Amino acid sequence: MSPILQVRNLVTRFDTVDGIVHAVNGVSFDLEEGETLAIVGESGCGKTVTVLSLLRLIPEPPGRIESGEAMLYEGAARRDLLKLSEPEMRHIRGGRIGFIFQDPMTSLNPVLTIGEQIAESLVEHLGMDRDQACEHTIKLLARVGIPDPEKRYSNYPHQFSGGMRQRAMIAIAIACTPEILIADEPTTALDVTVQAQIVDLVKHLRTELGMAVIWITHDLGVVAGLADWVQVMYGGMVVERAFVDYLYERPQHPYTIGLLGALPGLDRKGTRRLVSIEGTPPELMRPPSHCQFAPRCSYAFDRCWQEIPPLLPVGVRHEVACFFNVEKGRPW
C-alpha cells in the first residue's frame, strides 16, 4: 500500500478574547490509499479542527495553524497542504479530497436546486459543459440512492429529508472521484435507520471508487464495521491508535476503555453497559504540562501528574500515550 496523506505535528490554535484555545496539539497520522481511519473522541477534543486544518477551512482569525505538515501524495510526488495557495486548495477541495459535514443544511445553498449545486462542482473541477454536467449529476444522484433523480434534480434543499440531503452532499463530495473522503459526524443529526443507510452507502462507494476515508465520530459503535484504523483523540492530542480489531479487543488507554464502556451493549450478565467516563473533557485554554486525562483517570500515578505521555508503539499496529500498562496493572 502507498501513503496518500501524512500528517505531522499539526498544531492549531484560536486566539480568543479569553485566551488561546489549544485546539490541536501536535497531531500526526498516516492514511494509506483506500484505507479508512476513524477519529473518535468526546465533543470538543479537536476532531473537527484537525480536518478543517487539513482542508485549510479554519477561520483565520481567530484560528491559526501554528505548525505542522500535511503531505498529500500523488505517486511519489507530494505536496504540503498547509503551504498551498488558496486557488490550489480550491482545486484540491472537492477535487482530490471530498468532504461531508454533520449538518448538510448549512453546507447546501438554499437558493440553488440540488442538481445545480452538484453540476456546478462538475463544471468547476472537471470543466464539463452544462449539458454534460446535468447528465452526469443525474447519474450521481442515482448512484447515491436518490430515487427519481431526474425529478429530484430540480428540488431545493428544503424539499429533501435530512437523509436525502446528506446523500446529496455525498454526491457533491464524490462528484470528482476524490482519493480521500472526509466525513465529519455525517450521521449524527440523522435517526438510527438513516444513519445505517448512510454508513452503508459510504462503504459501498469507498469500494467502488477506491477512496480512502477519514470518518469522524463521537460514537465508537459506528466504527466497528467501517474503519481499518481507529485514532482516539483527547484534548487535541492522539492518545491511542490501533488497527480496529485490536482497539476493541485490547484497548490500552484508560480513556478508550472508558469510551468502550460507554458503548450501549449487553455485558456477560445480560445487563446493559452504560458506564460513562466521570468528569469533563480538559480545558483547552490552559493545557497542563502533565497527562490531560489524569484528573479523570483511576490509574493515574505520580508520573502522570508530571509529564505528558508520548504516543508510543505497544504492539503491532497499536500505539498508546499512557504511562500505565492496564493489562499488567502497573506502569510500563
Ligand X SMILES: Nc1ncnc2c1ncn2[C@@H]1O[C@H](COP(=O)(O)OP(=O)(O)O)[C@@H](O)[C@H]1O
- Radius of gyration of the chain, Cα coordinates, nearest whole angstrom: 21
Answer whether 310's CB lies under 8 Å from 241's CB.
Answer: no
Does 14 sit near ligand X (CB under 6 A)?
yes
Residue 107 DSSP symbol: H
Does 37 sit near ligand X (CB under 6 A)?
no
Does 195 sit near Mg ion (CB under 5 A)?
no
Spell out the residues 6+ positions from residue 41 whose beta carbon is closer than 8 angstroms to its own. 47, 218, 232, 233, 234, 259
Stretch that binds ligand X, among 41-49, 66-74, 89-97, 301-309 (CB under 6 A): 41-49
How many residues line the site for Mg ion (CB under 5 A)?
2
Nearest distance from C-beta of residue 281 to ligand X, angstroms: 8
Binding mask of the shown chain, residues 48 to 77, with x at each position contacting Mg ion by CB under 5 A:
x-----------------------------
Query: Considering CB distances under 5 to 8 angstroms, the limit depending on partner class, which of ligand X, Mg ion, none binds residue 59?
Result: ligand X
Query: Considering CB distances under 5 to 8 angstroms, the limit depending on partner class, which of ligand X, Mg ion, none binds residue 16?
Result: ligand X
Nearest distance from C-beta of residue 10 to ligand X, angstroms: 12
Helix axes of 114-126 and 130-143: crossing angle, nearest 10 degrees? 120
Nearest distance from C-beta of residue 269 to ligand X, angstroms: 33
Is the previous residue joined to 61 through a cis bond, with omega within 30 degrees of 0?
yes
Helix axes of 162-174 and 192-209: crossing angle, nearest 10 degrees? 10
Query: Considering CB distances under 5 to 8 angstroms, the limit depending on partner class, which of Mg ion, ligand X, none binds residue 49?
Result: ligand X
Cell of 184: 465529519
Nearest distance from C-beta of residue 331 to ligand X, angstroms: 29
Question: What's the gap between Cα 80 and its chain centre?
Answer: 19
Nearest distance from C-beta of residue 220 to Mg ion, angstroms: 15
